[in-house]
Amino acid sequence: MSELTLYRFAGWSAYFNATVFVLSLVALMLFFSIGGFWGTLNDSLSIFWMLSFIPLSIALYQINRAVNAPLSIVSSIIGIVAAIVFAVMQFLLVFGLVRFEQTFTAVLATTAIFGLSVLVQALLARAGHSLPMGLIWVMIIYGIASLIGAIGFQIGGEQHPLAMIGLLLTAVSGLVWVIWFGRLLLAGNVTITLASTP
């Protein structure tokens, strides 16, 4: 796969990710309102949501490898593994092979680990000036918020202030960064576009 093809695939994956995330939020709100099928739909959508991050992790490695190839590839691999584990846990949950209580900690951990991988890639992009500074800060917020949210959930559940703040910041910053990143990746000759963006 050529670099340009990879970027275009990752760009469409980013848009797909954003779309699935919004649909998942709608399903979650409907589940909290009326229950039933909507909870299963939310869990099902989350599988595709997390897997669609994988091409983005690969694209981030491709962009940041000139800055620090070993750190970038390790970060991408960790993010990809976290995404796959998350998807497997949700798959097992959807098909009733495990209970929510059994997957809760693992899902939180994988979400935080993936956020950490995004944070590392954002710092590499900042060092290499390979992404717009605004996008880098959004990615940093996403990574930190993922960690804060997971810690809050683990300490006191969804009502814990850290969990609520982390969830809100993760949702907003996550949506912004995937749409922004996807737009850059689909801009054409992405290598030139990114290199020339302040």
CA dist 40 and 184 (Å) reads 33
Taking only the tens place, the pLDDT of each residue in 78-113 is 999 999 999 999 999 999 899 888 888 888 899 999
Which residue is associated with the tokens 């848009």? Answer: 15
- State pLDDT tens for residues 8-25: 999 999 999 999 999 999
Tokens for 198, please give them: 């302040």
Could you give the CA distance from residue 24 to residue 97 in angstroms, rounded to a whole number?
21
**Does 29 score more than 90 pLDDT?**
no
Q: Does the structure show a pLDDT above 90 at 163?
A: no
CA 175 to chain centre: 9
Give the DSSP H/E element, type plus range, for residue 105.
Answer: helix 100-128
- pLDDT value, residue 196: 43
pLDDT band at 188 (very low <50, low <70, confident <90, very high): low
